[in-house]
Structure 1
């Protein structure tokens, strides 16, 4: 299982505001699913937890490779 250490990988998200993410959605640079994926990662990073890629994939009902691609692309 590919586990993301959010203490290391999601720190970049902490400097991005919701306003910036929302702008990406409005400009169609982020799809809605990508936006909510970021939101979910943000929640976990705030709680200093880790989450597996497969858990994210299951949560969003998308394929694991799709989630891994989105996370790598967005972070």
Structure 2
């Protein structure tokens, strides 16, 4: 049986998984990419929600007009 190594680098730390069956390594990597891709989308969606909340607070405090709020909201939702 032939083994492979998988390295996962998140920018701060590299994790190594050793002695992975070479047949299953590409399947594992593909699944890992799918999972991390989904998580990245979740983060960006929550960032949009966070931005909307910030603009809403500015609107309620009187620092933004309704027109300015609507304009910023449209920009965020069209990303």
State the TM bucket, normalised to the shorter chain: 0.3 to 0.5
Relative to the length of structure 1, the TM-score reads 0.37
Structure with higher Rg: it is 2
**TM-score (norm. length: structure 2):** 0.35
Q: Where is the helix percentage greater, Structure 1 or Structure 2?
A: 1
Higher RCO (CA 8 Å, separation ≥ 6 residues): 1
Normalized per residue, which structure has more strand?
A: 2
